[in-house]
Amino acid sequence: MDEMTREEIDEAISELDDAERDYLKLIISRVVRCFVDDDHEAVLLFGRESTTQIAMCTVNCEEIPAANMINYAHNLTSFMATVGAPAKEKFN
């Protein structure tokens, strides 16, 4: 995934609706906090639905903590996807 030019970024932002713009502002605020506060760290994953490749960027985060964050996120999203689902015995 290539870096966007300033003009491409400005054009893309101008096409966002208010909710999308607010969400982008939240994401940028959280990423910036990782650059200026040693107590905050981030792992950003970027991909496309059409491919299995991903790009990963970390901010203020070493490899092991990044791996731990990804593992925790996987466990959390797996739980959220299955909460309220019937027990596996009821699938038969």
61 contacts 43 by C-beta, under 8 angstroms: yes
pLDDT by 10-residue block (mean), the chain, 92 residues = 89 97 98 97 94 93 96 93 76 57
How high is the pLDDT of residue 2?
75
Q: What angle do CA 69, 29, 19 make, to 5 degrees?
A: 100
Q: Where are the beta strands (DSSP E) in the chain?
A: 42-47, 54-59
How high is the pLDDT of residue 92?
54
pTM of the model: 0.77
